[in-house]
Amino acid sequence: LRDGQMLLGLSSKFHMVDAVQGANRLDRAMLEAALPRHSSGTAVLSWPAQSHLLREVSPMTSASIIQKMRAFFAWQIIDVGGFPSQDIVQEVVHTADRVWVVSDQSVGGIVSLSELLKNLPAKAGGKGVDGLVVNRTYKSQGLPPLDIAKRLELPLLYALPHREEALLKSSSSGLLLSESAPSDLYVQEVKKMAQGLMENKKKKSEGIQEASPT
C-alpha cells in the first residue's frame, strides 16, 4: 500500500478512497492539484496507508474510478499484488485491457500465483490473464521461466533478470535504477515491456480505424 509513491519519492495524502468519495467532482483540474507527479510525468493515485479504509471502497466503485480516469490519462498501470480484497482484484481485472501476472522462481511464489489464477474472472471473449512476467530471474538456478509458464498454462511475456543489488544500491541513493544506470539490463527489459504495450495499443487503434465506416 502506497509503495508507488514511496519508490518514486513522492508524497500525497490524497488516495483511492478520496477519489471514490469525490467521484462526482473528479476533473482534470482536481487531478492536477491532488495527484503527485514524478519528473517523468507519471501521476500516482495510491491506495490508503490505513488498510481499514479500504472497507469504504466497493468493487464497483473501484471499477468506476478506473473507467473515469480513462478520460484524463492515456495509460493506467494498476498494481493489485497482495491486495486484501479479492472482489476488488476481480473487478479491476475485468475492467483492464491487459492483465499480466508476476512471479519469481520460488516454489511459494508459483503456488501462490496458481491459487490466485483460479479466482480471476475471464474477460469478454477470452481468459482473464494475458500472460506471465517472471521477475528476479536466475539463469542457472530455479525453475526456468518457460517451465513456470507451462505449469501455469500461460504465455511467457517477459523474464526480468535478478538485479537486486543494483536496485538496492540505486534506491539507497534516492534514485530509480533508470536514473542511476539507464543502460542496466533490468531497465532495458522493463523498457521492452512498455514498448510492447504501446505497440499493442497502436495495433488495436489501427484495427478499429480500419473497421470503422468512412
* DSSP letters spanning the chain: --HHHHHTT---S-BHHHHHHTGGG--HHHHHHHS-B-TTS-B--BPPSSGGGGGG--HHHHHHHHHHHTTT-S------TT-S-HHHHHHHHHH-S--EEEE-SSHHHHHHHHHHHHHPPPPTTS-S--EEEEEEE-SSSSS-HHHHHHHHT--EEEEEE--HHHHHHHHHTT--HHHH-TT-HHHHHHHHHHHHHHHHHHHHHHHHHHHS--
What confidence score (pLDDT) does residue 195 get?
94
* DSSP letters spanning 142-185: SS-HHHHHHHHT--EEEEEE--HHHHHHHHHTT--HHHH-TT-H
pLDDT at 64 over 60: yes
Q: Cα dihedral sign for 176, 180, 183, 185?
A: negative
Quote the cell numbers at residue 62. Answer: 473501484
For 2-30, how does the pLDDT look when each residue is reduced to its tens digit (9 = 90+)?
Answer: 788 888 889 999 999 999 999 999 999 99
Predicted structure pTM score? 0.86
For 73-96, how does the pLDDT look when each residue is reduced to its tens digit (9 = 90+)?
Answer: 999 999 887 676 788 888 888 888
Q: What average pLDDT does this structure show over 172-189?
A: 95
Q: pLDDT > 90: what percent of the chain?
A: 59
For 107-129, how does the pLDDT look when each residue is reduced to its tens digit (9 = 90+)?
Answer: 999 999 999 898 887 665 556 89
pLDDT at 158 over 80: yes
For 95-111, how does the pLDDT look when each residue is reduced to its tens digit (9 = 90+)?
Answer: 888 999 999 999 999 99
What confidence score (pLDDT) does residue 208 get?
46
For the chain, the average pLDDT equals 87
Quote the cell numbers at residue 54. Answer: 479500504
Higher pLDDT, 151 or 87: 151
